[in-house]
Amino acid sequence: MSAADSSLLRPKLLGPATVNVVVAVSVLYTLLPVLWLVLASAKNRDALFSSDLLSLSDFSFLQNLKDLFAMDGGLYGRWYVNSLLYAVLGAAVGALVSVACGYAFDKYRFRHKEKLFGLVLAAVMVPQTVLALPLYLMASEAGLVNTFWAVFIPVLFNPFGVYLGRIFARGYVPDEVLEAARVDGAGELTTYARVALRMLGPGLITVFLFQLTAIWNNFFLPMVMLSDQDLYPVSLGLYQWNSSASVSPEYYPVVIMGSLLAVLPLILAFVLLQRFWRSGLTAGAVK
Amino acid sequence: MTATTHARVPAGAARAASPAPSDSGLRARRAAKRRQLTAAGVLMTPFFALLVTVFLVPVGTAVYLSFFSDDQPGLGFGPERTVFVGLRSYAAVLTDPTFLGGLGTVALYCLIYIPLMVVGALALALLLDSGVVRLRAFAQLGLFLPHAVPGIIAALIWLYLYTPGISPVIELFAKGDITIDFLGVHTVVPSIVNIALWSNLGYNMVVFYAALQAVPREVIEASVVDGAGPVRTALQVKTPLVRASIVMVSIFTLIWALQLFTEPMLLSQSSPMISSRFSPSMYIYDAAFTRNNYSLAAAASVVLLVCTIALSYGVTRFTSRADSEEAR
């Protein structure tokens, strides 16, 4: 009996129409809340509470935008810059550090290598909330609590990036290239910086993107470390404004507008760097 | 630092292992080996310096803190002393009904969330891979979009969608004469599951889809020739072949689920159903930074850590045993 026969005999539970409906419903599930955010950001406070999202009569997108950047003396702009600093700088440095380490794990042989790598993998498993209190106490000992560094240094640590870096080094940098460079008398680090790093480019961008997302999302660590509002990232700032909103509702429209703007950098990064992270996902999944 | 010390050692081992062809050749090779180990040390040192300062020392500190406590001397005069209290903090944590309640909440959350997430993401990936979906690129992008929304903002969006008066969803239900309280006693955990599912479904779908793309087309063609319909091909041919990514997604989902913090923390601003010790992570935060009881927070951290490691290890062991049984 051929495939065509058997599917003719059975009722088509999973025919193309059903499949398309299931996928379409799932896409609506993921898209509609974002669409709500876009529509709600254009509403003033009264319209927000009337649940009447589609009427364009009280369109106040620009007014909300102006309010957002004027609220509390322009704090939001500061938070945005902070988030960009933590995330872009942190992800760039972190990705370089992790990929260099992953590359060394793949290309060099030394004693206890797999045990050390096991330690790196174990670090992937440890919940951040477990480390928060000791990190806070260490930072307070070092006088770093409530400074930029208290958030910036811990987020550089990305053991999963080392795992990915090792896989990328195996895949993208053939050992023959290193041998050839050695024969030419090039130093090991020069070879890494001039030859290998370029071949690792797509992998580096993948790790960067993963870490960018993680740091942009980070909420727990800044909440523990920072008390100065001027140092907050967007995530923590919006959390705080939202808690004020129950008392003073004028915060609602700015929280919504602020959320919309906070989504944009990651969308931009994912769209611009699409080519790279797709290959990265496969590398992470195939063990 | 660690990397360099480890890296230095094997120079001697390499010398012992390789037979000497000539003295100068040996020396050259030894020099090359040393150069490589130095390079490895230089490349690994920054990462391992981070590993020691923001991972090993904090874990050690947490364990240490859990065994000691600051005792106020009588009447509250004089300096505080740090005294060894043994397992007292663990006993306090493990008999604290709010901590056990938090563990129970997270267990319930995991039981609902993880199967829904893994099965849902895999099903969507298989559907997209089946080739009958229209506008596949658009569908993928749409499903992936929430991954670009930070967790706290996802929670904010859904909080508003759960709030009567603002939410068009509740409005819609009200038109059908259904009153629904998304933040009630029985609905609050499913409501949090929904936020997490919304955030991560598309991302995991892309992971599965990428793995499915790597399945050789010949294997699928062979199963079609053998008379397997599309459903059987998907479940019995493709799914076993992407097993590695299923395990990986399950473990990462589990680790993240056990840390449950952001969503309940935000929802607690609006729902009395969520106490400040709703999940173990919130318990740790509350103990450390509201009650300033460091030894209690540290003991709770260690308990959470042990649970995480035990469960991840369990998942790995379980799947690798299933693997070897299949091979037999």
**B13 or B143: whose pLDDT is higher?**
B143
Q: How far is A195 from chain B (nearest CA, A)?
A: 15
Report d(CA A275, CA B1) in Å as an integer. Answer: 36
Give exposure, A2-40, as e/b (b: 16+ Cβ within 10 Å): ebeeeeeeeeeebeeeebbeebeebbebbeebbebbebb
Q: Does A60 touch chain B (CB under 8 A)?
A: no
Residue B42 pLDDT more than 60? yes
pLDDT at A14 over 90: no
The DSSP bridge partners found for residue A59 are A43
pLDDT higher than threshold 70 for residue A63: yes
Please name the residues between 85 and 124 in chain A that touch chain B, using a CB distance below 8 Å: 97-98, 100-101, 103-105, 107-112, 116, 119-120, 122-124
Asked if A97's CB is within 8 angstroms of B55's CB, the reply is no
Nearest-CA distance from A73 to chain B in Å?
22
Distance CA B196, CA B153 (A): 12
pLDDT for position B281 = 92
Q: What are the CA-CA distances from residue A157 to residues A90, B5, B56, B279 (Å)? A: 9, 21, 12, 25
Q: Looking at residues B139-162, what average pLDDT do you find? A: 89
Determine the average pLDDT of the residues in B158-171: 81
Residue B18 scores a pLDDT above 80: no
B237 against B125, higher pLDDT: B125
Categorize the per-residue pLDDT at A225 as very low, low, confident or very high, splitting at 50, 70 and 90.
very high
Q: How confident is the model at residue B108 (pLDDT cuts 50, 70, 90)?
A: very high
Banded pLDDT at A55 (limits 50, 70, 90): low
A234 CB neighbours in chain B (<8 A) are 150
Rounded average pLDDT over B239-264 = 89
Q: Do B301 and A213 touch (CB under 8 A)?
A: no
pLDDT digits (tens, 9 = 90+) for A98-152: 999 999 999 998 889 999 999 998 898 888 888 989 999 999 999 999 999 999 9
ipTM of this complex prediction, to 2 decimal places = 0.84
Q: What is the pLDDT of residues A175-186, one digit of tens each?
A: 888 888 888 888
**Residue ranges per structural domain of chain A:** 1-35, 67-285
What is the per-residue pLDDT for A127? 85
Interface test with B, best of A6, A26, A153, A200 (most B CBs within 10 A): A26
Would you place residue A247 in the very low, low, confident or very high pLDDT band (cuts 50, 70, 90)? confident
Q: What is the largest CA-CA distance in chain B?
A: 92
Whether B194 and B183 have beta carbons less than 8 Å apart is answered as no
Q: In whole numbers, what is the pLDDT of chain B averaged over residues?
A: 83
| A162 touches B at CB < 8 Å | yes
Note the pLDDT of residue B23.
Answer: 77
Contacts of A270 in chain B (CB under 8 A): 144, 147-148
CB interface of B with A, residues 175-204, below 8 Å: 198, 201-202
Output DSSP code: residue A219.
-
Other CB atoms within 10 Å distance of the CB of residue A268: 11
Between CA A92 and CA A269 the distance in angstroms is: 13
**Other C-beta atoms within 10 Å of B170: how many?**
20
Which candidate from A33, A36, A125 shows the least CB-CB separation from B312? A125
* CB < 8 Å to A82, chain B: none
Distance CA B156, CA B150 (A): 10
State whether B50 and A31 contact (CB < 8 Å).
no
φ, ψ dihedrals at B83, nearest 5°: -125, 150
Tell me what pLDDT residue A234 has: 93
DSSP 8-state code for residue B78: S
Q: What is the DSSP string of B18-42?
A: S--S-HHHHHHHHHHHHHHHHHHHH
Half-sphere exposure (Cβ direction) of A153: Cα atoms closer than 13 Å: 22
pLDDT score recorded for residue A8: 44
pLDDT at A54 (0 to 100): 60
* Residues in B touching A239 (Cβ below 8 Å): 152, 265-266
Q: Chain-centre distance of CA B73, in angstroms?
A: 42
Q: What is the pLDDT of residue A12?
A: 53
Angstroms from B274 CA to nearest CA on chain A: 14
Q: Does B292 touch chain A (CB under 8 A)?
A: no
Which residue did the predictor score with more confidence, A153 or B36? A153
Give me B12's structure tokens. Answer: 């001697």
C-alpha dist (Å) from residue B56 to A126, A158, B87, B258, B293: 11, 14, 22, 20, 22
Q: Which residues contact A217 (CB under 8 A, 6 or more apart)?
A: A235, B150, B151, B152
Least confident of A99-103, A126-130, A243-247, B255-259: A243-247
Q: What integer pLDDT is reported at residue B322 of this predicted model?
A: 67
A67-94 pLDDT, tens digit each: 888 878 888 999 999 999 999 999 999 9
Choose from A52, A53, A110 for mutation: most chain B CBs within 10 A.
A110
Q: What is the CATH number of domain A67-285?
A: 1.10.3720.10
Domains of chain B in sequence order: 2-61 (no CATH), 92-327 (1.10.3720.10)
What single-letter DSSP state applies at residue B72?
Answer: P
For residue B39, list chain A residues with Cβ-Cβ distance below 8 A.
104, 108, 187-189, 192
List of residues 6+ apart from B224 with CB closer than 8 A: A3, B233
Question: Is the distance from CB of A97 to CB of A156 less than 8 angstroms?
Answer: yes
Closest CA to B313 of B260, B259, B257, B251: B251
* Residue B10: predicted pLDDT: 44
Q: What are phi and psi of B81, to 5 degrees?
A: -115, 145
Q: Using an 8 Å Cβ cutoff, are A196 and A41 in contact?
A: no
> Is a pLDDT exceeding 90 seen at residue A58?
no
How many helices (H) does chain A have, and how many strands (E)?
Answer: 18, 0
Task: Compare B19 and A154 and report the one with higher pLDDT.
Answer: A154
Q: Report the pLDDT value the prediction gives residue B119, as an integer from 0 to 100.
A: 94
Tell me the pLDDT band of A95, cut-offs 50, 70 and 90.
Answer: very high
Evaluate if residue B314 carries a pLDDT over 90. Answer: no
**Is B75 a residue whose pLDDT tops 60?**
no
Percentage, residues of chain B above pLDDT 90:
31
The answer to whether the CB atoms of A189 and B149 lie below 8 A apart is: no
Angstrom distance (rounded) from CA A119 to CA B47 = 12
Size of interface A-B (CB pairs under 8 A): 296
Q: Minimal Cα–Cα distance from B51 to chain A, Å? A: 7
- pLDDT of A44 > 80? The answer is no
**Structure confidence at residue B327 (pLDDT):** 55
Whole-number Å distance between alpha carbons of A35 and A25: 15
pLDDT value at position A11? Answer: 45
Instruction: Determine the pLDDT at residue B155.
Output: 92
Put simply, the answer to whether B213 touches A282 (Cβ < 8 Å) is yes
Beta carbons of A267 and B148 less than 8 angstroms apart: yes
The pLDDT score that the predictor gives to residue B180 is 78
The pLDDT of B154-174, averaged and rounded, is 83
A31-to-B62, B79, B158, B199 alpha-carbon distances in Å: 41, 58, 13, 11
* Average pLDDT in chain A: 84
Contact A226, A82 (CB under 8 A): no
Least Cα distance to A48 among B163, B194, B158, B184 occurs for B163
CA angle A250, A254, A258 (to 5 degrees): 160
For the segment A47-56, the average pLDDT, to the nearest whole number, is: 63
Nearest to A191 by CA among A107, A110, A109: A107
Residues from chain B that touch A154, judged by Cβ atoms under 8 A, are: 54
Say if residue A233's pLDDT is above 90.
yes
Contacts of A256 in chain B (CB under 8 A): 156, 160
Cα separation, B131 vs B230, in Å, equals: 10
Write down the pLDDT at residue B49. 94
Alpha carbon distance B71, B86 (integer Å): 14
CA distance A171 to B85: 51
Nearest alpha carbon to residue B148 among A213, A105, A123:
A213
**A62 touching chain B per CB within 8 A:** no
For residues B169-181, average pLDDT: 77
Q: For residue A235, which of A252, A217, A251, A221 has the smallest C-alpha distance?
A: A217
Residue B178: the pLDDT is 76
Picking from A29-33, A207-211, B185-189, B305-309, which range would have the lowest pLDDT averaged per residue? Answer: B185-189
Q: pLDDT higher for A6 or A13?
A: A13
Q: List phi, psi (to 5°) of B43.
A: -70, -30
Q: Which of A95-104, A148-157, B77-86, B290-299 has the lowest mean pLDDT?
A: B77-86
Q: Is the confidence at residue A4, as pLDDT, over 50?
A: no
Bridge partners of A238, per DSSP, are none
